[in-house]
Structures are given as structure tokens and as C-alpha cells.
Amino acid sequence: MSLLKEWEELASKERTKDEYDRFWKDYLTKEQNIYEYILENRVNILNGTVKELAEKFGMDVVNFTGFVYGINTSLVSAIDLESLDENSDLNMEIDFEKLYYNMLEAKASWLFNLPQWDNILTEERRKEIKKEFNRSKIVVNENKIGRNDPCPCGSGKKYKKCCGK
């Protein structure tokens, strides 16, 4: 079974509420530690085998695969996750602006509010990215009905005299 499948099975495994909370708290703490290291040391390229990197960050290879799965969309070149095994060589070049944006998308406030971001992106740039993110979430109705347009209900009346009252 591939590491990705093992991760997906582990992450979606049936657990009691306490087991679920404990599992995710442990995983997210380790994930946060990796991001703190990357940001603190301005590491934009992680090199090594899956096993070496997992050991470096105090994780097993399956949980580290979960980290790679999470950061994959923030890399300059995505990794083929299906083919990963513990001896796979990784060369992960991180696009920090994409990473910040994706953390906003994931609503991972514990990650996008890390103080280590000050070393990577200016506060102004982070505000711009956040504005860009917020703009992408605004729904704009392009089929706005004018008050003097015919009512879409089919009554034949103007919108203002019918459904627009």
C-alpha cells in the first residue's frame, strides 16, 4: 500500500472523540513545528528522502506523507504523491506566497498567524494576499435585475411593481 493511501486511511480512521482530538492535536503540533522551522530558517527547499525528512522532523513516514500532502499545492512543482515510498527523494521548493494563501484557504489561523512569517513576507504583502484571498471569496451576481426591467417571474410587470416591492 502506498504511503498516501496509508495516510488517508490513518486520517479517516474511525475514532472516539477523545482519540480523534488526540490524534489531530499531535499531528497539527508536529506540522506547526515543521512550519516554524521552515519559516524561522527561511528554508525554501526541503531535500532528502521521505524517511530522512520524517526523522529530521520527529515524525513517522506516514504522518510526514500527510505533511507533504498538505504542502503539495504550495510547492513550485507538485509532487506525485501516489508514487511516494520511504526511499523517495523529495526536492520540495516552497512558494511562500502560495503557502500563505493556502493557509488562509484552509482557515489554519495557527499557521498563518505564526510570528515567523515576519522573516518571510512583509506585513503589507501578507495584507495584500489576505485581501486577494477575501476578494476571491466574494460572490458577485452578474445577473442583477434593474428596477425597471421586466420581472423574472413572468408576470409582465416591471420588477419594481412586482417581486421587487
pLDDT of residue 91: 94
- 85 closest CA partner among 165, 164, 6: 6
pLDDT of residue 143: 80
Answer yes or no: is 75 within a domain. Answer: yes
pLDDT of residue 127: 96
pLDDT of residue 29: 96
Domains held by the chain: number: 1
pLDDT of residue 139: 80
Answer yes or no: is 128 within a domain. Answer: no
Instruction: Output the DSSP codes for 133-145.
Output: HHHHT----S-PP
**Buried (b) or exposed (e) across 80-104, using 16+ Cβ within 10 A?**
ebeebeeebebebebebbebbbbbb
Q: Is residue 147's pLDDT more than 90? A: no
pLDDT of residue 105: 95
Pair 74, 95: CB distance under 8 Å? yes
Q: What is the dihedral of CA 119, 120, 125, 126, to 10 degrees?
A: -90
Quickly count: other Cβ atoms within 10 Å of residue 62's Cβ. Answer: 19
Residue 33's domain spans which residues? Answer: 3-121
Grade residue 1 by pLDDT with cuts at 50, 70 and 90: confident
Answer yes or no: is 136 within a domain. Answer: no
In whole angstroms, what separates CA 62 from the centre of its chain? 19
Query: How many Å apart are CA 128 and CA 5, to the nearest integer?
Result: 37
User: 85-144 pLDDT, tens per residue?
Assistant: 999 999 999 999 999 999 999 999 999 999 999 999 999 999 999 999 999 888 877 788
Answer yes or no: is 108 within a domain. Answer: yes
Answer yes or no: is 162 within a domain. Answer: no
Identity of the amino acid at 82: E
pTM of the model: 0.82
Answer yes or no: is 57 within a domain. Answer: yes
Answer yes or no: is 51 within a domain. Answer: yes
User: 21-80 pLDDT, tens per residue?
Assistant: 999 999 999 999 999 999 999 999 999 999 999 999 999 999 999 999 999 999 999 999
Answer yes or no: is 95 within a domain. Answer: yes
